[in-house]
Amino acid sequence: MGREFLTVYWREMIRFVRFKGQLFAALVQPALWLLLFGIAMSSNFTNDAVVFPTIPGVINVDYLTFMAAGVMAMTALFTCLFGGMGLLFDKNWGIMKEMLASPMPSYHIQLGVGLGGVTKSLIQVGLIMGFGLLLGVEFFPGFSGTETAVAVLGIFAFVVIFSAGFIFLSAGLAMRVESMESVQAMMTLLTMPLMFSSNALYSTASFPAWLQAISSVNPLTYFVNGIRYFALGGDFTALGTHYEYASGDILASFAYLLVFAGLTFVFAWRSFKRAKVT
Amino acid sequence: MSGKIIEVQGLSHSFGDFKAVDDISFSVEEGEIFSFLGPNGAGKSTTINVLTTQLDCQKGSARVCGFDVRARPHDVRKSIGIVFQDEVLDRDLTVRETLEFHGRIYSMPRDQRIAREKELIELVELGDKWDERTKHLSGGMKRRLEIARGLMTRPRVLFLDEPTIGLDPQTRLRIWDYIKGINEEGTTIFLTTHYMDEADKLSDRVEIIDHGRIIAKGTAESLKNTLGEDMMYLETGDDERAALAAKKVPEVSEVKRLSSGLELILSADGAKVMPKVLRSVEGEGIGILSVKMKKPSLDDVFVHYTGREIRDAPVDGNSLKMRRH
């Protein structure tokens, strides 16, 4: 296979660092989530009136630490859902024609953009994690150096596969629709249910059955599970809920995200294949 | 090396019920500048899109650089360069990055790519804009950059779709110079245009296309010569009788009534024929109000073949997209 997709990737990254304002917002926005929403909610939960039961011998995680994993996941979600938008610009006002008219097979565009989305997610998630630790997020409790390194790698593996799934989805959609407004509307419509039916910001244990059903097919839920497993271990309580993850559960979560990414890959593949210069 | 670099046989292309290109055949010789002249919506861009393998070849056959567009689109793409009708640039890449991106997606070896970038940037005189983002370039500079980009891979044939649309007259002249220069270095040029002067000044051969069909072909000169040596316009007191009188002059090959006055096509030098025409008309006792003579232009050729002026032609959606500056 040719390496032309690396050129598409190179351009994606030039654009990522070139728009300073956008780059700044992309990095600061998740930090603000942590700082404002995280600390505000935490102070509510540490109020004397709210007492969550804890289990002796099981690590109890404070809210800031709990939701930090959720903010990391949501950041990757936003970055990738809107990451395909650039293609729509390219179609209407940019170099999509040049790329589609070249001898480079069109799936290289998909691969390059996909790699770009994954890289951006990794950078952002890494930064938020670092920022969170500074704010007092208690990730990797009692982990040795090696365990921490493995945990970070595990988190990154989840970031990669989750981001790939959503960047392919948004790239595929961007290639199929015509107007900026319709994609934007679609993405906004997707984001809310994904976010609020997941376990990113709260426990889903007391959800009504129908909402639990939605949550259990939501890729974001599986992504957050993966991050929490690696960051906090397989046995902890938070907000009064006891979380127990066996490594099999985590493998299943990963496999679920892998299948999701596979499906969106095929969807994007088809979208690019039928893309025509007009 | 010479021979036919583009060969098209019985090409048709439809969008739904609309026949954009209707059974056209033509060929382009290696090394020439070949123009497709016609109004917007005549089928020029559709033809280019089929030849550059952007659109499927629905009916008929086409070979570009010896490769069949249907069987070997990849080889066609590798051997051609394209300058699109509308602006196709990443506004946030620099001039250098624009060329680098192109060279890389065309899998050029690094050294060759860098050498070409330097060479072409000098050719289109954008050397001082090397690190400028393309959004800061003027319309003419953007066009030149796009032409340079189209030449990165040393294509044997360069497709230029309306290369000077939306540019000011001075910039157009400069772009023409570049096109001629590139052609002199051996690149075959396939040009589409709806500007008569562009086809006239640039091309070795012109084919006029209208409603998806080729209606006339030849060199710009020979096309103009189909309208005779000179054209004469006459306003008289009685155009109907004057027309009859003018027809009696053997060198008047055609007489056409206009809304006011007559248009005469002369088969010999107008300077000598005009007095004969005037004598003949006055001999009938018809008063002459005004008289004018001119060399036929491609505009006249177009009017002659289609019965309408090129600028009256219907406008398609694509051409409404103006180039950004």
Partner-chain contact A102 B324, CB within 8 Å: no
Sorted by where each begins, the domain ranges of chain A are 5-273
Distance from CA of A3 to the nearest CA of B (A): 8
Mean pLDDT, range B185-203, rounded to an integer? 91
pLDDT at B323 over 70: no
| Calpha distance A130→B257 (Å, rounded) | 85
Q: What pTM did the predictor assign?
A: 0.86
| Calpha distance B318→B314 (Å, rounded) | 12
Name the residue type at position A175: M
B319 pLDDT tier (thresholds 50, 70, 90): very low
Partner-chain contact A94 B90, CB within 8 Å: yes
DSSP secondary-structure letter at B106?
T
Residue B224 pLDDT: 84
Which of B54, B106, B149 shows the shortest C-beta gap to A276?
A: B54
Cα distance from N-terminal residue to C-terminal residue, chain A: 28
Neighbours of A122 (CB within 10 A): 17
B228-295 homologous superfamily? ACT domain (3.30.70.260)
Burial of B253-280, coded b for 16+ CB within 10 Å and e otherwise, reads eebeeeeebbbbbbebebeebbebbbeb
Do residues A77 and A163 touch, judged by C-beta distance below 8 A?
A: no
Residue B324 pLDDT: 41
A20: contact with B, CB 8 A cutoff: no
Fold of B4-224: Rossmann fold (3.40.50)
Residue B325 pLDDT: 40
pLDDT at A276 over 90: no
Residue A47 pLDDT: 64
Partner-chain contact B90 A2, CB within 8 Å: no
DSSP secondary-structure letter at B133?
B
Neighbours of A223 (CB within 10 A): 33
Instruction: Write the pLDDT tens digit of every residue in B25-56.
Output: 999 999 999 999 988 888 999 999 999 999 99
pLDDT at B229 over 80: yes
Between chain A and chain B, how many beta carbons pairs sit less than 8 Å apart?
67
Mean pLDDT, range B171-175, rounded to an integer? 89
Partner-chain contact A276 B102, CB within 8 Å: no
Neighbouring-strand partners of residue B189: B33, B158
Do residues A88 and A47 touch, judged by C-beta distance below 8 A?
A: no
Neighbours of B299 (CB within 10 A): 15
Name the residue type at position B249: V
Helix, strand, or coil here: B243? helix
| Calpha distance B299→B200 (Å, rounded) | 10
Contacts of range B175-180, beta carbons closer than 8 Å, 24 or more positions apart = B175/B140, B175/B143, B175/B144, B175/B147, B176/B201, B176/B202, B178/B123, B178/B124, B178/B144, B178/B147, B179/B33, B179/B147, B180/B33
The candidate with the shortest Cα–Cα distance to A69, out of A158, A161, A191, A166, is A158
Strand B33-37, strand B188-193: pairing? parallel
Q: Give the Å distances, CA to CA, from B114 to B110, B144, B169, B247.
A: 6, 18, 33, 66
Do residues B12 and B47 touch, judged by C-beta distance below 8 A?
A: no
B257 pLDDT tier (thresholds 50, 70, 90): confident
- Within chain B, all domains assigned CATH 3.30.70.260 are found at 228-295
Best to test chain B binding among A4, A10, A11 (most B CBs inside 10 Å): A11
Provide the CA B198 distance to its chain's centre, in angstroms: 6
Structure tokens at A150: 């493995």
pLDDT at B133 over 90: yes
Mean pLDDT, range B71-85, rounded to an integer? 95
pLDDT at B315 over 60: no
| Binding-face residues of B in 112-171 toward A, CB within 8 A | 149
| Calpha distance B28→B285 (Å, rounded) | 53
Instruction: Write the pLDDT tens digit of every residue in A201-213.
Output: 888 888 999 999 9
